[in-house]
Amino acid sequence: MNFLDRKAYDWGSAFARALFWLFPRRKRIAVENILKAGITDDPKEARRIARVSWGHLAGHVCEALRVPHVITRENWREHLDVSEGHPDAVRLLLEETDTPIILVSAHHGVWEAATNLLSFARPMFAIARVMNNKLVANWMKNHHFRGPVTIIDKNHGFTPEILRKWVEDRAAMTILMDQHTSKGLPLTFLGRPAKTFSSAARLAIRTGYPVVVGSFVRVAPYRYRLVGGPPIRFPKDADRAVATQLLNDRLGEAIRKYPEQYLWVHRRWREKEKKES
């Protein structure tokens, strides 16, 4: 590992933290989110967490750009810590790769670097926004740090072709569930009202395949820890709202363990903010 690889996270994080004061609106949103989620009741501590998490976002992106230069098919397991992952979830993710799974996570930890890392264990599908600019879209496809992962345009959803390929490839369908939506189910996230996409729960109920919920957090340069509980299998008659709330609750547990690595500046509770303003 060269000097640039070792320092990528530190440089990105330090630069972002130093300039956080230039984004007062984002800072206010982050601090309010931290306080209202009950992470702390101390405004000073909330400001510290907000600043560190802002730095983590930049540091994570900078390090993720270098992941293909550091993590390879030969050494990827050396960069993975499963000490906080449930053994059954670890087996599904890394060993019993003959079963398609649904991987539910959030903007927490190292969500971009993790997809690259896991692609060495099993094929990865990810619901994401596809860039409108063709040049940018082609660059993302050929060089982006997500690695060899099939990107599914979130505007198109789960087409029959996509679902068939997911099952045939025995892939992990990765869904970030903390996206803002004005049309989702009226549930709670981190203890606050938040409309939530039910696509992960619907897919799990429809197919019967297991759901692994959690995050990969950064514990050292290019070393990432799986945080999460046991896999979930929903019966065909499961209530969609109850199932989706369970996924939200599982994500909240991981975020509360490592709040400094969550994207607090994200306007997850946007509808709530409009009512309060």
Structural domain boundaries in the chain: 3-276
Q: What's the whole-model pTM score?
A: 0.89
Note the pLDDT of residue 273: 46
114: exposed, middle or buried (Cβ count in 10 Å: 0-12, 13-18, 19+) = buried
Dihedrals phi, psi of 21, to nearest 5 degrees = -65, -20
Q: pLDDT (tens digit, 0 to 9) for every residue of the chain, 277 residues total? A: 898 999 999 999 999 999 999 999 999 999 999 999 999 999 999 999 999 999 999 999 999 989 989 999 999 999 999 999 999 999 999 999 999 999 999 999 998 888 888 999 999 998 776 555 565 556 555 555 455 678 777 766 788 899 999 999 999 999 999 988 888 999 999 999 999 999 999 999 999 999 999 999 999 999 999 999 999 999 999 999 999 999 999 999 999 999 999 999 988 887 544 444 4
Note the pLDDT of residue 140: 54
Note the pLDDT of residue 274: 47
Note the pLDDT of residue 110: 95
- Phi/psi class of residue 118: alpha, beta or left (left: φ > 0; alpha: ψ in -120 to 50)? alpha
Structure token digits, residue 268: 């997850």
Report the alpha-carbon distance of residue 92 to residue 98 in Å, rounded: 9
Note the pLDDT of residue 139: 52
Note the pLDDT of residue 277: 41
